[in-house]
A and B are shown apart, each in its own frame.
Chain A
């Protein structure tokens, strides 16, 4: 008889926030709503990148966020079909896997709903299930790939769908007055984007044939502003030792702040904040035994969220903050004036975790590392998301030089699991933790 003996080490798991379970339910409800949209006679808008969803939700348009769909498929390990369909049409493996997965969905949607009559869709296969768009809005900060992805989506649908492009320039910041949220370039760029958002509203009005309900947008933005403040307050509490929540909890909380119906969002973050506060009071950590505090640079590996959370927990490493989670998603609520929110919305779109050039971006990251008192940095070099990998060597270098902390880099990807290299992650993170130990010994001596 074989008796499986579990070592205590194997049993260490991430102590996830209980409240993030609600996010799972909200996400499911959102997609159910999306899948029903056509039956309910709603107009459907596809978009990626910037959170323009309040503009759409206020106008009663069903908003379909591309990355969110790809991420959801990957998190449920159902991305394979979409990626295969995309590959069959000629989209190559080195293309952004978010886009590739989503384009696979578009292609298969076209095939099953379009000309290829006779094909019977499999109800359990989510690849084809998105309602086809009545309009596309492209508003992608920094990454040229985002805008091209939208254009190609429109071409997959035979260019029959009206498309509106919002251009979000990169903040290069070379002038003496340049900095985070300041300087002439920042103000001019904000004005340029604000102008385009007003034009985008006209485009929406043309589609709905109704005057735009500004009041609804105002009240939604008041809620989002509040939700964002609650989220940031809860994140801030993770400076506590042990950290009550981890980067992975904040990853799970991206959808609520970024693309779920506004109505439930404030409540969600209120619940999260309450739990985080309680944990701080109780000294309860996001990992059972916090020995190390790490910063996570890079986009998420959506097929691996739970897996990575547990892996770091086993190493007694609390991943306390990250570029992806802590530098985006209505990150600057104070810029949003609920009575005139458009400029503040434009400005929040300009603050994606990549849209400031390296000097400003790296300064912000170093600030977070100091604030959260990290001992090291783990860097996810996502093979097909170059927007995130662009500054990573410079980030690592600055972390060594300015903070004196070790870093470790591993290869993975946003939604294409085949790029993920587990052994590399293991050996490099272990080496980094050893380096941290060594540093501590030297300091103690």
Chain B
């Protein structure tokens, strides 16, 4: 299989996950479980025989959803409600979530009221990450989810099945991390839109199918030699629940930028951390949940002993990135809270960054382009100096 064919398969699922889900369901006769980002353990739903799918923001403009959520909410939550009201989620047998960003809670309530025939399950994950009881409480939450899943599926979710799912998911993450590494070294010249297709499709596709395709893709680059880099090397940061729009990423790269790393949720954040493969799987998932936040700190959690800003600066050193573009989804409160810390740390470290606020309903790409071009010039001048 060619590189383009593989990327196209990923892109197709990433662009229209709900159609993929319909086909999968028709093919397998098994249930589809939608989840909200960013900390749902797909492994558990997979072990229960379902297709776990992280629900994605749609490109469609918000229409009927306006009647349920105010316009001053992030695009992700507004789009979720809009899709629910339009009936797009009919393919889902259940929706499950453990994250409790205040805007997401608003969306969840509205969605439950709309989808009276769909089971909506909530298991609140503790968001305070360094308490003595964080591990224990996370275990309780995942155990609750397991019980809910068993009730939903009408069968026990066995440890062996969970271990098998964990191994598969780890393998999938590991392969994507290899691609990241290859991209960083210039071996895999994957554009950021292509990378998004890889990760986003992993959030929605059957894991085994996705992994098989990934293995082929990785093999293509295995023996490749690094390409000489001429562009400015940048890190992309931010954007949590929703994927940045591909046209925005393309525009950035057209300004003479090579994206060498990211901490986007539709990027490295999603695949940063593996679940321990030995021992009690629930304890393992709790460990994973905590490790994720030390691995790639997230502003939706609170953890006094890790710093997102320091992580970013370190990651960029490793990626040999010369600057960073922050993509902030408009109205995303966790991001707005943390941004001043990042700004201050970057100013102190004399590392340039550019903040771009993104919107669900269209962005003025032309004027943004001017800003990115100016930023790229600044970074180039610094290099030359």
Contact = CB atoms under 8 A, between A and B. Distances in A.
Interface of A: 89-92, 94-96, 99, 138, 142-145, 147-152, 154-155, 159, 163, 165, 167, 169-170, 172, 174, 192, 196, 199, 357-359, 381, 383-384, 386-387, 389-394
A383 B72 contact: yes
A387 B70 CA distance: 12
Given A92-B336, A144-B127, A391-B110, 7 more contacts: A152-B340, A170-B124, A192-B137, A387-B102, A390-B102, A390-B103, A390-B105
Contact of A144 (B68, B101, B330): B101
Contact of B341 (A94, A155, A172, A387): A155
Given A95-B336, A144-B102, A394 B72 contact: no
A358 B337 contact: no
B122 A393 contact: no
A147 B128 contact: yes
A147 B302 contact: yes
Contact of B70 (A95, A145, A163, A381): A381
A96 B333 contact: yes
A316 B127 CA distance: 47
B304 A148 contact: no
Nearest to A96: B333
27 contacts: A89-B344, A90-B339, A91-B336, A91-B337, A91-B340, A94-B331, A138-B128, A138-B302, A144-B127, A145-B102, A147-B127, A152-B341, A163-B304, A165-B131, A167-B131, A167-B137, A170-B100, A170-B124, A174-B112, A192-B137, A199-B133, A358-B109, A386-B106, A389-B106, A392-B70, A393-B68, A394-B68
B122 A174 contact: yes
A142 B333 contact: no
Contact of B333 (A95, A165, A196): A95
B106 A391 contact: yes
B333 A390 contact: no
Contacts of A151: 302, 304, 337
A248 to B, nearest CB: 24
B302 A386 contact: no
Nearest to A391: B109
A423 B344 CA distance: 40
B121 interface: yes
B68 to A, nearest CB: 5
Interface string B344-357: 10000000000000
Contact of B304 (A145, A159, A357): A159
Given A144-B334, A159-B304, A167 B126 contact: yes
B127 A92 contact: no
A169 B124 contact: yes
Contacts of A96: 333
B343 interface: yes
A384 B73 CA distance: 10
Contacts of B102: 142-145, 386-387, 390
Contacts of A196: 133
Contacts of B339: 90, 92
Contact of A89 (B131, B300, B340): B340
A142 B105 contact: yes
Contacts of A148: 299-300, 302, 333-334, 337-338
A387 B25 CA distance: 36
Interface in B76-121: 100-103, 105-106, 109-110, 112-113, 120-121
A387 B336 CA distance: 16
Nearest to B70: A389
B88 to A, nearest CB: 19
Q: Which of B105, B109, B110, B127 is the most central at the interface, judged by chain A CB atoms within 10 Å of its CB?
A: B105
A94 B329 CA distance: 12
A149 B340 CA distance: 13
B61 interface: no
B113 A358 contact: yes
A48 B332 CA distance: 21
A389 B106 CA distance: 8
Contact of A149 (B67, B68, B109, B337): B337
Q: Which of B67, B331, B334, B336 is the most central at the interface, judged by chain A CB atoms within 10 Å of its CB?
A: B336
B132 to A, nearest CB: 8
B337 A94 contact: no
Contacts of B69: 393
B305 to A, nearest CB: 8
A165 B100 contact: no
Nearest to B101: A144
Interface string B131-159: 11100010000000000000000000000
A367 B300 CA distance: 35
Contacts of A94: 72, 330-331, 333, 336
Interface string B54-82: 00000000000001111011000000000
B121 A174 contact: yes
Nearest to A393: B68
A135 to B, nearest CB: 13
Given A170-B124, A386-B73, A393 B340 contact: no
A150 B120 CA distance: 30
